[in-house]
């Protein structure tokens, strides 16, 4: 009588990587199954971008400001993805009954959330590219980047810090219970203002811009604009090397914070079972 082949359980980095891919796969594939999402998530946000563009044209603002709006409008895709598909995800999974599976599974919570972020980053990236391309063509935005490598580096560290913040917020929103929905609504519009999505953050003053720099998009947007639009260097808040250094610090801070907070929540969930209760 032949015996079935012995199955070996993945461990260590292999388990981490398989968990990441398993969680990222549904988001990557699922984003292609509803074509209407692409229209609502790309074309409609252009209306908001167009509104700011026409305001700047009406007051005869420098042409670079139109580019600021287009780049900022493209980056909103990543902020909304972090806020609604990362920070609030564990709370929604709790209501859907998936949180129990995450906690009892051998895969680490960091890997599960990293898979969510990678899957969401793909869809958000498509939305951002479409907004950037269409906005640039419609409004005649001219870019003059001097260092493509530096621009890619700024974008990469901004995304790492931003999604690290989303991972940390996931545990905060989960602990908040039903308030997660209200927190998501609360943080959406104020971040547009604080991070300077549609204007140079320097205009808010040094101290306000400094406080807003805790949000990775603030310095990331400012650095990218300095690299993409070189006609007026005084519009930048800090120099690009300093902003990259601060973003690297934020990467370490948010990812480390997410690691400890998720481990603590997972420990509470396994020991006391309170995280999966739906009475809150």
Predicted local distance difference test score (pLDDT) of residue 279: 45
Spatial separation of the C-alpha atoms in residues 199 and 222, rounded to whole Å: 10
Which of 103, 86, 100 has the alpha carbon at shortest distance from 164?
A: 86
- For the chain, what is the domain count? 1
For residues 135 and 73, is the Cβ–Cβ distance under 8 A? yes
Residue 43 in any domain: the answer is yes
Residue 233 in any domain: the answer is yes
Maximum CA pair distance of the chain?
Answer: 84
Task: Give the gyration radius of the chain's Cα atoms.
Answer: 21
Residue 19 in any domain: the answer is no
Residue 88 in any domain: the answer is yes
Residue 25 in any domain: the answer is no
Spatial separation of the C-alpha atoms in residues 24 and 119, rounded to whole Å: 4
Residue 198 CB partners (closer than 8 Å, separation 6+) = 52, 68, 69, 72, 73, 192
User: Residue 176: how many CB atoms within 10 A of its CB?
Assistant: 16
Residue 80 CB partners (closer than 8 Å, separation 6+) = 124, 188
Predicted local distance difference test score (pLDDT) of residue 4: 41
Spatial separation of the C-alpha atoms in residues 184 and 164, rounded to whole Å: 16
Residue 133: domain span: 35-272
Q: What is the DSSP letter of 237?
A: S
Residue 2 in any domain: the answer is no
Spatial separation of the C-alpha atoms in residues 135 and 119, rounded to whole Å: 25
Residue 220 in any domain: the answer is yes
Residue 249 in any domain: the answer is yes
Question: How confident is the prediction along the chain (280 residues), in pLDDT tens digits per residue?
Answer: 444 444 455 666 778 888 888 888 877 777 667 667 667 777 777 888 888 889 888 888 888 888 888 988 888 888 877 877 777 777 777 777 777 777 777 777 778 888 888 877 887 888 888 888 888 898 888 888 777 888 889 999 998 898 888 888 877 777 766 666 677 777 777 888 888 888 888 888 888 889 988 989 899 999 998 888 877 767 788 888 999 999 999 999 998 988 888 777 767 666 666 555 554 4
Which of 198, 189, 190, 193 has the alpha carbon at shortest distance from 61?
A: 198
């Amino acid at each position: 009588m032949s015996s079935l082949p012995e199955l070996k359980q993945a461990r260590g980095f292999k388990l981490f990587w398989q968990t990441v891919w398993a969680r990222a796969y549904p988001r990557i594939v699922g984003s292609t199954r509803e074509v209407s999402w692409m229209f609502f998530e790309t074309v409609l946000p252009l209306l908001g971008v167009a509104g700011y563009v026409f305001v700047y044209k009406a007051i005869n603002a420098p042409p670079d400001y139109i580019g600021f709006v287009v780049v900022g409008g493209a980056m909103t895709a990543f902020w909304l993805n972090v806020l609604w598909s990362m920070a609030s995800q564990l709370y929604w999974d709790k209501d859907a009954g998936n949180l129990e599976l995450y906690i009892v599974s051998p895969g680490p919570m960091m890997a599960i959330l990293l898979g969510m972020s990678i899957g969401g980053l793909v869809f958000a990236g498509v939305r951002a590219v479409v907004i950037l391309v269409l906005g640039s063509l419609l409004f005649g935005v001219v870019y003059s980047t001097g260092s493509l490598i530096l621009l890619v580096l700024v974008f990469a560290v901004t995304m790492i810090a931003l999604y690290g913040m989303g991972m940390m917020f996931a545990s905060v929103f989960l602990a908040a219970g039903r308030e997660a929905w209200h927190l998501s609504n609360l943080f959406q519009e104020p971040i547009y203002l604080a991070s300077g999505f549609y204007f140079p953050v320097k205009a808010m003053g040094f101290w306000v811009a400094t406080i807003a720099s805790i949000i990775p998009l603030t310095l990331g947007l400012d650095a990218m604009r300095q690299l993409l639009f070189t006609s007026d260097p005084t519009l930048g808040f800090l120099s690009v090397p300093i902003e990259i250094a601060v973003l690297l610090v934020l990467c370490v801070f948010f990812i480390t914070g997410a690691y400890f907070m998720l481990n603590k929540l997972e420990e509470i969930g396994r020991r006391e079972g309170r995280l999966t209760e739906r009475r809150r």
